[in-house]
Amino acid sequence: MARGEQETGTRILGIESSCDETAAAVVVDGRTILSSVVASQIDIHRKYGGVVPELASREHLRQIVPVVREAMEQAGLRYDELDAIGVTQGPGLVGSLLVGITYGKALAEALSKPLIAVNHLEGHIHAAFLEAFQGGETPRLPAVCLIVSGGHTVLYEVNAAAGGDAEPPDDYSQSRGRAEMGFSNAGPLQKQNALGRMPVPQSALAYRKLGQTRDDAAGEAYDKVAKLLGLGYPGGPILDRLAAAAGNVAAPVRFGPTKTRGNALDFSFSGLKTAVLYHLREHSEYNEEIQKRQALLETGHRKFEELLPICSAQTLGLVREFQNAVVRDLVERTLSAAEECGVGTILVSGGVAANRQLRKVFEERAGKAGLKVFFPSPALSTDNAAMIAAAAYARFAGGIFADVTLNAMASLPLA
Ligand code: KG4
Ligand code: ZN
């Protein structure tokens, strides 16, 4: 993008540190990504089979300054050319969140720029919009959004917020005294999109929670099953590829649909994980190859090409059946939600949204039902700061700012 165009838009630096990724990005007008830098801590947490909070915050501390600097360099901007700083307030690990929040506050204060608190889940929702904007598309509202990651599996109805027209304040200092800590929705600021055709909501959206997991998140189930099978951490990417490699091998077991009492739009994945555990316990023939894979992982060999040769047809069949069950549950409940809410748009976001089978089945099923489905690219599906900067822009447009009292909230709700 030419420098001139950058200068006309609102440039927001987004900072994300809620879990095990230190990320910073600069996004213009909530739609044009100038830079997006993600420092993953996977190598640090891998040997523990999950994120260790104390190690995560220590690593965020090490990474935050170079990651932000890199994002600014890639964007080709000076700090004083920013219009605002957006930072994840929660949900997430408190110690990790505090690193990003403290740095964001310090930058905002030092530069006299507005500070914007972003809900991580709202960031994931904006990732789907951000991706659509890159392709010149605009998801129509209302929509149903499935956020599916290692920490969350939740369904929301997403709507343009009701209320009057809010404009970004001309003079930021005037609005500072009215800084808001909460997440009440601002009125929708309807702007013309780049093509000047369809009005798109670029202000705060309104959310209604429709269902959520009662136990494990879907990504957590992937990670736990991969651990049981000696396939390393994180589990999603490797199980995704092994399931695809399974082809038509015989199914060693079948997993039925999960029923949840009460809200039919709630999810549950711990039963499936336990079913895999029991299946492995009952079939000792899996043991030898699991041990071989664990030994390979310990020597640092964890690539798909290295692990595939020591996966029997039985293991591949098991992985495929596990993934079929997860994908079926996610797709069925999301489609039911879309039908119940009478929406024409489905948004799918979060780390598990990178899953190829999930994307394929969603496309097929949504297409048949006459629904349009939007996914972020894999890089925008997993935790990143571009989605935080995009969500921050909506709050900037609505004049919703935070101040130096901003604090981390481990369980910050979205709705
Ligand atoms: O959104 P994310 O980066 O972090 C949070 O948990 O917030 O998601 C990470 C999760 C992990 O559980 C990982 O196993 C899963 O997303 N994941 C996948 C795939 N890629 C990542 N799950 C299934 N298929 C994938 N291709
Ligand atoms: Zn996330």
User: Any idea which ligand is nearest the CA of 385?
Assistant: 2
- The best mutation among 46, 125, 126, 149 to test binding of ligand 1, ranked by most ligand atoms within 8 Å of the C-beta, falls on 149
Q: What is the pLDDT of residues 67-108, one digit of tens each?
A: 999 999 999 999 999 999 999 999 999 999 999 999 999 999
Ligand 1 within 6 A of 218 CB? no
Of 183 and 150, more confident = 150
Residue 79 carries which DSSP code? G
Positive/negative CA dihedral, 16, 21, 25, 29:
negative
CA-closest residue to ligand 1 atom 19: 236
Whether the Cβ atoms of residue 351 and residue 121 lie closer than 8 Å to each other: no
Give CA–CA dist 239/262, Å, rounded: 31
Ligand 1 atom nearest to CA at 234: 14
Rounded average pLDDT over 32-51: 91
Ligand 1 within 6 A of 230 CB? no
Q: How far is CA 87 from CA 3, 138, 222, 392, 402, in A?
A: 25, 25, 28, 8, 10
pLDDT at 216: 97
Q: Which of 165-179, 257-271, 373-387 has the lowest mean pLDDT?
A: 165-179
Q: What is the pLDDT of residues 282-317, one digit of tens each?
A: 999 999 999 999 999 999 999 999 999 999 999 999
Mean of pLDDT over the chain = 89
CB atoms within 10 A of CB 19: 24
Give CA–CA dist 174/324, Å, rounded: 54
Ligand 1 within 6 A of 236 CB? yes
pLDDT at 46: 87
Ligand 1 within 6 A of 16 CB? no
- Band (171; pLDDT cuts 50, 70, 90): very low
Alpha helices per DSSP H over 265-406: 270-282, 287-298, 304-307, 313-341, 356-368, 378-381, 386-398
pLDDT at 174: 32
CB atoms within 10 A of CB 378: 14
pLDDT at 348: 98
Q: How far is CA 50 from CA 18, 150, 152, 297, in A?
A: 15, 10, 15, 15
Over 60: is that where the pLDDT of 178 sits?
no
Rounded average pLDDT over 148-168: 78
**Helix (H) / strand (E) containing 134:** helix 120-134
Give CA–CA dist 381/125, Å, rounded: 10
- Band (163; pLDDT cuts 50, 70, 90): low
Whether the Cβ atoms of residue 346 and residue 374 lie closer than 8 Å to each other: yes
Structure tokens at 286: 């899996």
Over 60: is that where the pLDDT of 180 sits?
no
Q: In what order do the strands lie in the sheet with 115-119?
A: 32-40, 21-28, 11-16, 84-90, 115-119
Ligand 1 within 6 A of 252 CB? no
**Helix (H) / strand (E) containing 128:** helix 120-134
Of 374, 382, 387, 380, nearest to 346 by C-alpha is 374
pLDDT at 200: 38
pLDDT at 260: 86
Give CA–CA dist 139/133, Å, rounded: 9
CA-closest residue to ligand 1 atom 18: 236
Q: Could you tell me which residues come within 8 angstroms of residue 382 by beta carbon, excluding any fewer than 6 positions away?
A: 21, 38, 149, 350, 351, 354
Ligand 2 centroid–CA 91 distance in Å is: 9
- The best mutation among 222, 231, 329, 331 to test binding of ligand 1, ranked by most ligand atoms within 8 Å of the C-beta, falls on 222
Ligand 1 within 6 A of 107 CB? no
Give CA–CA dist 372/5, Å, rounded: 31
Of 122 and 192, more confident = 122
Ligand 2 centroid–CA 174 distance in Å is: 33
- Band (203; pLDDT cuts 50, 70, 90): low
